[in-house]
Structure 1
Amino acid sequence: MPAHIPVERFMRVVMTAIQNNPDLLKVSRHSLFNSAMKAAQDGLLPDSREGAIVPYKDQAQWMPMIGGVRKKARNSGEIATWDVHAVHENDDFDFELGDNPFIRHKPTLGDPGKLIAVYSIATLKSGEISRDVMSVNAVEKIRTKSRGKNTPWNDPIFYDEMAKKTVARRHSKVLPMSSDLDDLMRRDDGLYDIEGASDKQVAGPRGLEQKLDALADMRDEETIDHEVDEKSRKSASGSSPADADQRGDQADTSRKASGDSAPQSSDADNSEITVDVALKAGASAREDGRSRKAVPAKYKTDEKLLEAYLAGFDGDVEDNGDVDESEPGGEE
């Protein structure tokens, strides 16, 4: 706690806050103590001007107010001045954005009328001036995300102060902030549904066919690798030892190259897949209970492979042109 705030005074302010809001007696004592500790760490008083301790469900929550935010900003050394004001319907108010932004506000001395906007003007140490304006409708969108029932939002006396804090909170995102001041601005995040349904970007549903394709690709990679290895072993067993050694050296070289280089294109991958492999993959897919439409992408790019895969799935090999793998004109 800062030296300028005596412990006795801080304790009196906390007791007054509890007396003014009896619902704080119903919350967890541990959370109430922690909220008071956070206020002390921030060097602010829970007097509803610099900050407030509010109940949320069965917990107490420390909520800095605009007076406390401005106080911390002045002491941070990052901002020279920071003014935040409320605009009412009977005030003379004008503002403009663009190359020459400005805000002009002349409050009325009579009945101010309803709140229509709030604005924030910060002057940095460099002399640069930064501005932000929020309409009351924009403020209301934030207020509706408040989770607590007994927060200052629901007290007409503090509504303007909470609205001013809202524009200050948004403005702070583009201002140079010390770590302490940034932490202060986030103290009451728990009281807001910051990621409410209205703000979430909901990704479009992925089609069932796409999901099945991805699953089929993952499973068929293992099947193809196994079948290719098995075919290589059978071929090696029926040839001379010298040929087998040569193929083994070529396989080792190929594996090393594949481990050190980037993945090859899908066309290159398809060139290594034979019609026989596609046939077996289709038959395996049927046995596993997969959908006929979930054809792996590697078989879709080649018409012969696609026909072979579907023929294998349907168990109709002869109707697929006998799936002859020989080169044209290469009959023996």
Structure 2
Amino acid sequence: MTTTNTEVTTIKKDISVQVLEKIDSFQQSGELTLPKDYKVENALKSAYIILADPKNNLLKKCTTESVAEALLKMVIYGVSPIKKQCYFIPYGDKLDCSISYAGNISIAKRYGGLQWIKGNAIFKGDEFAFEVDQKTGRRKLINHLQTLESIGSADIIGAYAVYELTDGSMDMEVMNITQIKTSWNQGGSKGGSPAHKNFPDQMAIKTVLNRACKLLISSSDDSVLYDPLEEEKIDVQKSDVNQEIEKNANKESISFDNVEEAVVVEEEPKVELPKETPKRAF
């Protein structure tokens, strides 16, 4: 069935009314304060460009309620689909907004006190050493020497992320390859996607970046974003881009009166609708 421009415009208008009314309600009650650098209208416009893409036409294929929920989550978390801070993933006729690793970094900067963060892969043959401060328990990079021969090889033994907080303090997250692969196995492709096979160093870096942001995000004192949500479901270790969506993924719809927690996907999704709506797993 072909969707006309008039139909698309009507759908956009109806959804926008729902989302903007809900956001206005949150703001009026003092439950939500949007970041100064985040423009709701711009975020919605960029989202509609993606959702109205004729190749997938998610505005037509997904329920209005689920699209409104996905857009509401996008706005509340202050992320942008154009910047690949989130992805819209269809599960049958239900749409979900999944926060990417870039989105989690953005959220950590806004609410978790993150100043900057930098990740690197550790290859076999590298000289790498770090220490743990006996008083604070924080890690500190002591030495990391690489060679041209080691950089970019398939022999990755780990990855780390060094970051500084707005108070000037620094910390470090380290993961060995076993931990990284365990994280990859939580995703739909089990670490077997083309991105993992062709760019394992980049995928490893993104995984450790997400892990580094996890505590900063979940320990944020921003009650709007995190107190109403179930923190344990904000699993940033599963995050990265380029995910192959499982056709039989289980997804449960929620009421538009609630805000669903951010679920991070492991790779950038290939937007593809299953042939039939999956049944809920118990």
> TM-score, normalization: structure 1?
0.44
Q: Going by fraction, where is helix more abundant, 1 or 2?
A: 1
- Structure of larger gyration radius: 1
